Structure 1
Amino acid sequence: MRLIYIDAPAGSGKTRALTEKARWLAHTGDNVLFVQPTKELIDRTIERQLASNQRHTRYEAIYSDDERRGVSVSKQIIERLKSGFDGGGVLFITHVAFLRLKWHGRLMGWHLMIDEVPTAFQCFEHTVPETHRILTDLITPGQSDIAGYPFAVVRDGTELRKMARNGEKDEVWAQFQAVASVLESTRWLTYLHGENFDGVRNGTMKKLLIFSLLQPSICDPFDGVTIAAANFRESMLFRLWSRQGVAFVENSADTAKLNYRSHENGRLLTIHYAYDGRWSKTGKGTALKRSEFETLMDLMVGKLRNRLGDQHFLWVANKGDPDNLFNGMNGLRLPNVPHGLNEFQDYNCVVFLSALRLSNPVRSWFEAMGISAIEIDAAIHMEAAYQAIARSSLRSENSVEHVHVYLPDLATAEWLQTKFPESTLDFLDWIPERLRHKKKAGRPRIHENDNDRRSHSRRKIELCNAISATEALINNRSALLERIERLLPQSELIGDETIYIDDNNVAILSYGMRFDNVKCSTPKAVLIERSEDQFIERLRQYGLVQARSDNKKKMEAISPAIYDAFKAGQKRRGRQNIEFVSGVWIDVDRISCGPDNLSDIFRDCKFAIFNSVSNIDGKWRLHLYFPTKTIMPPESYKFIAERLATRIHESVQDAHVEDKLAPTDLFLLPCLATDSSGNYFRYFNDAGRTSIDVQVWLQAALDDHLAGSTPGDDIPFVESPTIDPTFPRNDVMIEKALTQWAQQGWKPGSGNEQFLKLALKLVRAGVDDDELQSLLRTAAGTANSPDDRRASIEGTVKSVRRFSKQWTV
């Protein structure tokens, strides 16, 4: 399935762009189902985008029951979908109504447009120690793709449908009506927690857990689907549907028409926070002793009342929090779903007190699918804070007013800072020290100060986002092909007239873009070859023909990035223009050892190395190129480049690596040296060397970051076959390795590889032979073929011990 999306900041004009497209389709005779979060937003969209437009567009909004005819919203919508509009039109409905639709078959001539991300999952927790059989007798566990979470297979569909409809208004059935509706729907895929379901059935557990995922098939009836939302690529729907193989393609044409692509006014924002812990409903209810306030929430409200005085401000809290939190003040409570609301742009202060963290069982379910805790919080809790902030004057790119945001926790503050570059964080010393830091007793301090801790947390977020973006990019074949087709007319191509994708659908055989010089903003050509070896040979040929010059403006350059020059408004070579990046370039400005010596530093990597125009004081100036097995998004490039640069710094004392670690940097192509003795070109591709595996290196970067290692301590390379190191024990790395096995090891066809990787990681984390065999036996029990894995333990242990002798401590 292929879905179009528009991902741009709040206030950039996404709804307007969607409406213009819907209006155009309606005028061509097609029909559009336009889905928005609330009926209030529907009314505003119709008033501002359709009713006021001079060219009339047929439209209808259905979001309340027709009491005169006794017709429900769903039936009204179905009737309109069947009849359509005479000559084309737009039907507006809410997210809730859309998710309840029961339609089978095609809707010819209908297009689906979704404004903001709808709910992609539902979770049900029922405490039913005595009455669970009302539901559990109707379902049974079935094998699924998530270890420990079987599918909920319906045993009695007739009884379940009766419960879902509950025509007799049975009060007991009413408690299960919502989950029954999901279980009997083909639009939702429902999972059980295996141990929990068995425990509830045999009486050892009281609370029944059921989880459901919205299926992409809900979009099947429509001729085309477009979704527009801020931070869409971080949403749960994007992550969950990408996992199911949906190809998401960005609508570059409509995106280019938006007011802006990123928040450029972050310098006007100060984010105040007071709490280092995880702000949750339980946490904010923490009782305070020897204080004028009863709970942490009371303390936050009390401090805010004193701080804000007579200021006008917007505020958001959980639904269960009363409306009178700020009685007597100039505070205006925002709705909990404020998407698209523009009428609050004269406010320069926002208070966000909501706690929207998922329960631990739900978080564990998502983590079993490979979605990390920070990704979950970003998609739900932090996104809600972002939407609240975006109602303020920050929504207007012309505003010069400074905005102050008050929220409880540091993690949300740091995430918001990534959305508003140049914004400022401010710590509020409001909460007692003993409550502010939620840490286990006796745990040593990891970071020397708060700045280091915030920097560490921010880098972790960036690494997680880079890993997720890389996986989404290289697994999306149809989206890549569409991007390539759009790029072909923009350049005079060198080499073949087609950009190739290899048999594994991951490596686009284009190796960057050529520019007239390092100051140029418009690319001259896409560099294309059938293989990386042919591309490096082309680089060698450049070195034989490009004349040296003291003026860099007269020498051709290359960028590792492939740009769409028309993607980001007036910019042609900005980060937002990048479609993908291939390979990594490193410039070494001064190094005393010869270039051949660099081969030992990167003995696990293929790479080419060549001279610059001239050397300085007898020291070499060199350019290095490292091919990658896959393409990567721009956010991943710097982490790979940093690790390569760190290896040089740590291995050569006087080396000076230029600070060119961004995918937008330009690098001089090979040329003749001023002194002919300085001409040098060498390609190291002997046995044992491989191109950089972007995903492996990024995961290594994250593992080392979480374990507190330096960026250079990455994938080990051969040093000496006589070394038999004993690695220091690292419990963080052990837990990380076991978690990754739980997420990947059960997949058919990958057991051998993943089992060996698990063993290698455990040894590197300091596990001895006895513990290694014990951990591997436990892990084998969750494999797709447990008996095969158990039988391979002895050989696996011997293999990893043999490999470990080649590692450097």
Structure 2
Amino acid sequence: MVLRPSLYAVSTSVGSGKTRAAIEYIASPEVSTQNFIYVAPTIRLVNQTADNLRKRLDAAYGSAARNLHLIHSESRHNDDLPTSAETLAVINEAIGNIGKIVIVTTKTFLTILPEIAKKHQWRVIMDEAFAPVEFLNFYLGNKVMEGLSYFKEAFTVDRDDNNRILPAEGKAGRVREIASGNIKRSGQRYKGLQPFAAAVANPAVRCELVLTSKVKAILDSDGDDTQGYPALAVDNQAESVMLIASYVTPEHFQGFDEAIFMSALFEHTMLYHLWTRVFGIRFMSHPRFSKGRLRDIHREQGKYVAIGHLLHPDDRSSKYNLSRNIFTGAPDEREPGQRVIDKMVSISSQYFEGVPYLLQVNNGYDYEEGSSLLPPNGVRIPTLSHGLNEFQDCNHVAALAITNPIPQEAEWIMARTGLSFEETQMAYRIHTTYQAVGRSSIRKATPSDDMKVFLASGYQEAWMLHQRFVGSQWLGQVGDMPSLRQLSAEGREGGLIMDLASLILEHLGSLPADTDSISSRALKAKLAPECKGRTWSSAAALAGQNCWEWTKAGQSFIRRDQCDPSSGEVALAA
């Protein structure tokens, strides 16, 4: 279905003054009786905007300032109502254009969007493009057919409509009850289905099953534990997961007097790609947000910016790589100080020695405020830091957070939208790396000519920034981070060497007691004829060092009792 709602896009550089322009628009006399819903992704950002808007309204209208409602979980006025219910009541009780302003978070707005009654009375400003796709994991458990049957007690998969997930026949009421969280009505049994029911029951959201080969086999085997996927019948099978893509559609944005989407590099966001490519949406320019009203930070600040990366150019930035052991390359290192991310933070803090810098890392690495791991000159900023002004006194940034999609998520996005792998990665970087550098002094209302250094985790993120900031200086790799790819290769070779050494020792231990020596070449021909010479030599040396009965002497293994202990020479038999 191709929709043609009247949607506006404001796409600019980070720190260009989009939110200030939105505040000026809302406070302008010509729209003083117009109702507005202002939407932002975080409580911190809606609080910040509400404070700035109140000051602007007070300056414009004095004691007759317009009716402003800031509603979120920490500011509710009615404790008996959930945040979404209170927000919906405030919006739907408005009669005509009365100049009401409601400020809410993106999560709350998307929850109530289908239930807003008189949309034509409202203009909506979406500050920062929300990520339209959320991926949910449904764990089938070890007995996958039992897990699938449990899922099908509430849902069905329409294989003819991009594997869309819908309430099972006759189960729409059950899905709504589960979605509401009313366990007494839906039953404790269905508590595990609540997040999926909430997505499926929301008319503004479409849910689709990501059809991997394994999930396809599971669905094809429904009703027969052995057909098409024999392992399904094994009780101790590794746990299986169904990945569900839940995404917001543009349908319910129709009917508003205006719907304005403001975002840095909006045309590169996932929202733009999904809605234009899948739904045929065309965004228009808004006259109140023309280029003349907004700053071009890329050109204004580019000559004052230097950009580098921390990972070796061989390596892509990913949570997998950042969690590896810095010395061996082994995955999933848990010990602080031993991880790649710790090395990256150390390089950053040394590079900015004595100077404050903004540090953005993923949650879970223990770099929270007050943590002993947080460097003295590091100022922690949120992973999703859109629009925040409180950090703009810092010139420098180490943007080390990663929000890349996992392979199955990326494959679904590329298949659904036709995006390339790099375009998909770019859409995710917009929400982390690019937004992180936008928290620095480049966003000051009075332009700063201080030199600024932005360090990104990987080459790709750093190069993206370098291309955006016109005239910026390219630093290349900063620090001495080794190639993780090379470390892994060495680690694999090290494992092979240890395996070969064990094999040599086992063979030496099986030789008859009257065998006093054997050449290394003969052993190689017998045990590992295809092995590379260097790897074999390392394994042979390791075996000789770790055997109490045999030692390596020259090109042969000799029993230790055949060595002359006083000279260290081998006493060869005549």
Aligned partner of 1:393 in structure 2 is 441
Listed as ranges, the gaps of 5+ residues in structure 2 are: 226-231, 233-238, 330-335, 492-574
Aligned partner of 1:142 in structure 2 is 158
Cα deviation 1:562-591 (Å, max 9, x = unaligned):
xxxxxxxxxxxxxxxxxxxxxxxxxxxxxx
Name which of 300, 303, 323 aligns with 1:285. Answer: 323
Verify the 8 A CA contact 2:206 2:246 in the aligned structure 1.
yes
Name which of 291, 297, 306 aligns with 1:270. Answer: 306
Relative contact order (C-alpha < 8 Å, sep 6+): which is higher? 2
Verify the 8 A CA contact 2:328 2:488 in the aligned structure 1.
no
Name which of 401, 421, 430 aligns with 2:480. Answer: 430
Hey, what's the Cα distance between the residues in 1 that align with 2:24 and 2:205?
31
Hey, what's the Cα distance between the residues in 1 that align with 2:209 and 2:390?
43
1:185 aligns with 2:202: yes
For residue 89 of structure 1, what is the amino acid of its counterpart?
K
Name which of 23, 46, 52 aligns with 1:42. Answer: 46
Hey, what's the Cα distance between the residues in 2 that align with 1:223 and 1:306?
52
Query: CA shift at 1:431, angstroms?
Result: 1.9
Aligned partner of 2:68 in structure 1 is 59
The 5 A counterparts of 1:142-181 are 142-143=158-159, 149-155=162-168, 156-168=171-183, 173-181=190-198
Aligned partner of 1:350 in structure 2 is 397
Cα deviation 1:257-291 (Å, max 9, x = unaligned):
42423512212111121323221111111123369
Cα deviation 1:339-365 (Å, max 9, x = unaligned):
222232221111111111111111000
Cα deviation 1:433-471 (Å, max 9, x = unaligned):
353699999xxxxxxxxxxxxxxxxxxxxxxxxxxxxxx
Hey, what's the Cα distance between the residues in 2 that align with 1:290 and 1:141?
44
Verify the 8 A CA contact 1:200 1:207 in the aligned structure 2.
no
Verify the 8 A CA contact 1:366 1:372 in the aligned structure 2.
no
Hey, what's the Cα distance between the residues in 2 that align with 1:242 and 1:67?
39
Hey, what's the Cα distance between the residues in 2 that align with 1:3 and 1:360?
32
1:113 aligns with 2:111: no
Decide whether aligned partners of structure 1 residues 224 and 144 sit closer, same or farther in structure 2, where only a CA change above 3 A counts: farther
Query: CA shift at 1:46, angstroms?
Result: 2.4
Query: CA shift at 1:69, angstroms?
Result: 4.5
Verify the 8 A CA contact 2:26 2:32 in the aligned structure 1.
no
Verify the 8 A CA contact 1:164 1:177 in the aligned structure 2.
yes
Cα deviation 1:131-183 (Å, max 9, x = unaligned):
342223433332556xxx42223212122222212312766634321111111
Aligned partner of 2:262 in structure 1 is 228
For residue 354 of structure 2, what is the amino acid of its counterpart?
D
1:306 aligns with 2:338: no
For residue 218 of structure 1, what is the amino acid of its counterpart?
H
Aligned partner of 2:110 in structure 1 is 99
Cα deviation 1:227-259 (Å, max 9, x = unaligned):
111110111111111120111012254223424
Decide whether aligned partners of structure 1 residues 171 and 316 sit closer, same or farther in structure 2, where only a CA change above 3 A counts: farther
Give the alignment's TM-score, normalised by structure 1: 0.51
Decide whether aligned partners of structure 1 residues 186 and 68 sit closer, same or farther in structure 2, where only a CA change above 3 A counts: closer
Give the alignment's TM-score, normalised by structure 2: 0.71
Decide whether aligned partners of structure 1 residues 106 and 220 sit closer, same or farther in structure 2, where only a CA change above 3 A counts: farther
Query: CA shift at 1:51, angstroms?
Result: 2.8
Decide whether aligned partners of structure 1 residues 73 and 17 sit closer, same or farther in structure 2, where only a CA change above 3 A counts: same
State the SS of the aligned residue for 2:123: strand
Decide whether aligned partners of structure 1 residues 144 and 221 sit closer, same or farther in structure 2, where only a CA change above 3 A counts: farther
Cα deviation 1:785-804 (Å, max 9, x = unaligned):
xxxxxxxxxxxxxxxxxxxx
The 5 A counterparts of 1:709-724 are none
For residue 302 of structure 1, what is the amino acid of its counterpart?
S
**Worse-superposed segment, 26-35 or 289-298:** 289-298
Query: CA shift at 1:185, angstroms?
Result: 1.8
Verify the 8 A CA contact 2:127 2:261 in the aligned structure 1.
yes
For this pair of structures, how many residues does the alignment match? 438
Cα deviation 1:771-794 (Å, max 9, x = unaligned):
xxxxxxxxxxxxxxxxxxxxxxxx
Verify the 8 A CA contact 1:152 1:192 in the aligned structure 2.
yes
For residue 485 of structure 2, what is the amino acid of its counterpart?
L
Q: Point out the structure with max Rg over C-alpha.
A: 2
Verify the 8 A CA contact 1:382 1:412 in the aligned structure 2.
no
Query: CA shift at 1:127, angstroms?
Result: 2.3
Hey, what's the Cα distance between the residues in 1 that align with 2:489 and 2:133?
31
Cα deviation 1:369-391 (Å, max 9, x = unaligned):
21222122111134411111111
Verify the 8 A CA contact 1:312 1:349 in the aligned structure 2.
yes
Aligned partner of 1:82 in structure 2 is 92
Aligned partner of 1:124 in structure 2 is 136
Hey, what's the Cα distance between the residues in 2 that align with 1:136 and 1:440?
48
State the SS of the aligned residue for 2:60: coil
State the SS of the aligned residue for 1:309: coil
1:366 aligns with 2:413: yes
The 5 A counterparts of 1:680-719 are none
Verify the 8 A CA contact 1:30 1:110 in the aligned structure 2.
yes
Hey, what's the Cα distance between the residues in 1 that align with 2:318 and 2:104?
32
Decide whether aligned partners of structure 1 residues 216 and 308 sit closer, same or farther in structure 2, where only a CA change above 3 A counts: same
Hey, what's the Cα distance between the residues in 2 that align with 1:44 and 1:133?
47
Hey, what's the Cα distance between the residues in 2 that align with 1:26 and 1:139?
49
Decide whether aligned partners of structure 1 residues 159 and 390 sit closer, same or farther in structure 2, where only a CA change above 3 A counts: same
Name which of 283, 288, 291 aligns with 1:248. Answer: 283
Aligned partner of 2:533 in structure 1 is none
Identity %: 21
Hey, what's the Cα distance between the residues in 1 that align with 2:89 and 2:456?
46
Listed as ranges, the gaps of 5+ residues in structure 1 are: 442-809
State the SS of the aligned residue for 2:126: strand
Hey, what's the Cα distance between the residues in 1 that align with 2:152 and 2:490?
39
Verify the 8 A CA contact 2:92 2:117 in the aligned structure 1.
no
Verify the 8 A CA contact 2:15 2:297 in the aligned structure 1.
no
Verify the 8 A CA contact 1:33 1:110 in the aligned structure 2.
yes
Query: CA shift at 1:77, angstroms?
Result: 1.2
Name which of 359, 367, 377 aligns with 1:330. Answer: 377
Calculate the aligned-residue CA RMSD, in Å: 2.8
Verify the 8 A CA contact 1:7 1:250 in the aligned structure 2.
no
State the SS of the aligned residue for 1:81: helix
Cα deviation 1:43-100 (Å, max 9, x = unaligned):
2222223334232222111112747541111111111111227732211111110111
